[in-house]
Amino acid sequence: MIKSELVQRIAEHNPHLYQRDVENIVNAILEEIVAALARGDRVELRGFGAFSVKHRPARAGRNPRTGAHVPVDQKSVPFFKTGKEMRERLNRDNPDPGAAD
């Protein structure tokens, strides 16, 4: 699902809201999550999951084409950990495909 599909679904479930208002709400939520992560904060949405920032230290990498060693700068990457309720729902709705019938 892409953002425009999310906006459309929310607008369909809430006919009293204009689609442009739903789009503004979705954009505001996503922008606030990004801003919080940029400040180094953690964002937790109960039942859904938690967004945080992981810091990766500088390291020596390798160019796969030439094999030459190259320095890789330190960086911060976003990290998402699913909430317990979401994990349980996903596992309940999608039984193990490797299980015998």
Tokens for 32, please give them. Answer: 């606030």
- Series of mean pLDDT values for 10-residue runs along the chain (101 residues): 95 95 96 96 95 96 94 95 93 67 46
Both tokens of 60, joined, read 């020596």
Residue 98 lies in a domain: no
Q: What is residue 92's predicted lDDT score, i.e. its pLDDT?
A: 86
Longest dimension (CA), the chain: 60
What pLDDT was estimated at residue 97?
Answer: 63
| Angstrom distance (rounded) from CA 35 to CA 43 | 10
**Co-location of 30 and 46 in the same domain:** no
CATH for 77: 4.10.520.10
Residues 59 and 74 in one domain: yes
Question: 46 and 29, same structural domain?
Answer: no
Structure confidence at residue 101 (pLDDT): 46
Say if residue 46 is in the same domain as residue 88: yes
26 and 50 co-located in one domain: no
The reply to whether the predicted model has a pTM over 0.85 is no
Check whether residue 49 and residue 86 sit in a common domain.
yes
Count of structural domains, the chain: 2
- Domain containing 14: what range? 1-40
**Which of these, 29, 53, 34, 43, lies nearest to 83 by C-alpha position?**
43
